[in-house]
Structure 1
Amino acid sequence: MARIPLTPKSIFAAAADLADRDGFDAIVVSAVARTLGVQTASLYGHVRDRAAILAGVQELAMGELADVISDEIAGRSGLDALAALGAAQRTYARTSPGRWESLQRRVEPGVERSESTIRVATLTRAVLRGYRLSDDDVVHAARMGGAMVAGFIALERTGAFDHRDQSTEESWRRSVEALDIVFTSWAARSAGSER
């Protein structure tokens, strides 16, 4: 079997696969090298250090997530778009747990926002602008929605909901609907204050 040529892209992909299999903290330079079947020193000709690999995994994951979100929200608006946005993230977290975890970490200070990060933010704003929110409210709505989605996913992954008989899917649906009600009320409040 031919070895994959070493490039930053192949290193980040191997590290992302390792994270999905063994957890995000398993990404260490020596483990990534073993995954690729090379000596650890071989990686340093292509990446600076572990931090560079972690940033590369984060960028790879953000690009994948942007593609998933784009596909899911296309042609939708309002509650349908909001539900699709949340479902895209939840599905991605389930199918790519290590990659998802990379997205829950802060980008290194001083690093410019990547094209993929801008794409995810733009797609999220597009969904929220469907509620006719002010620019300020879009920021607050994105934070609120992001906190709900990330928090729900984190609790679901740790089994925090397993001790109740009620359906987790029903809780998810109600949470998304609650966001829809909040965002709709914000838009109505803003429209009322403009009169």
Structure 2
Amino acid sequence: MPRAGLTADRLARAGAELADEVGFEHVTVSALARRFDVTVPSLYSHVRGSHDLLTRVALLALGELADRADEALAGRAGKDALAALGDVHRDYARAHPGRYDAARYRLDPEAAAASAGVRLAQQMRAVLRGYDLDDPDQTHAVRLLGSTFHGFVSLELAGAFDHSEPSTQTSWDRIIDSLDLLLRSWT
């Protein structure tokens, strides 16, 4: 019988909190069992195992990120939309580093197709419509933006920029300016 108060959603939220505290790689069914002071087998009535738990945390993180991007992108276009989308990813990663890692967890095709990851890709394509790119070029540009945002954020979170000037914000602003220029002159 399921323990009162425990649900799959509650475990996913607790897993997301744990990811932010100790890192997504340390989110396990046994770690959550310790957190709730229950036995591991008692959680299997809510989640099927570690992959199911990690998938649920990833889906939660993707949903949160997409919701934030929806809000930030409303009424924006061009460079303003590009900067807003980049800032959403950067701010989310800084506020929720474990969840940010979870958002990149490899989902099975069915879960990925039903996830907010689809909405995130649509948001990025919506930003790119302001740059008048054809569909094949949009795919390349989506990959460029995703790689740039993730690369910068990952290095920043790892402290790679802590010991040099100028500030990371100055670099971030220059990156957004450069991406805008590149997208406006895409050939």
Task: Please give the secondary structure, in 2, of the residue aligned with 1:143.
Answer: helix
User: If the length of structure 2 is used for normalisation, what is the TM-score?
Assistant: 0.94
> Are residues 1:10 and 2:10 paired?
yes
Find runs of 4+ consecutive structure 1 residues off by over 4 angstroms. 109-112
CA RMSD of aligned residues (A): 1.5
Partners of 2:58 and 2:104 within 8 A in 1: no
Partners of 2:112 and 2:118 within 8 A in 1: no
Partners of 2:86 and 2:149 within 8 A in 1: yes
Quote the offset at 1:4 in angstroms.
6.7
Q: In the alignment, which residue of structure 1 is the partner of 2:104?
A: 104
Q: In the alignment, which residue of structure 1 is the partner of 2:48?
A: 48
Q: Which residues of structure 2 form unaligned runs of 5+?
A: none
User: If the length of structure 1 is used for normalisation, what is the TM-score?
Assistant: 0.90
Q: In the alignment, which residue of structure 2 is the partner of 1:185?
A: 185
Q: In the alignment, which residue of structure 2 is the partner of 1:130?
A: 130
> Are residues 1:86 and 2:91 paired?
no
> Are residues 1:29 and 2:29 paired?
yes
Partners of 1:19 and 1:25 within 8 A in 2: yes
Question: Structure 2: which amino acid aligns with 1:10?
Answer: R
Distance 2:140 2:177 in 1: 17
Question: Structure 1: which amino acid aligns with 2:41?
Answer: A
Q: Mean Cα displacement is larger for which, 4-13 or 127-136?
A: 4-13
Count of residue pairs the alignment pairs up: 185
Partners of 1:61 and 1:100 within 8 A in 2: yes
Partners of 1:90 and 1:153 within 8 A in 2: yes
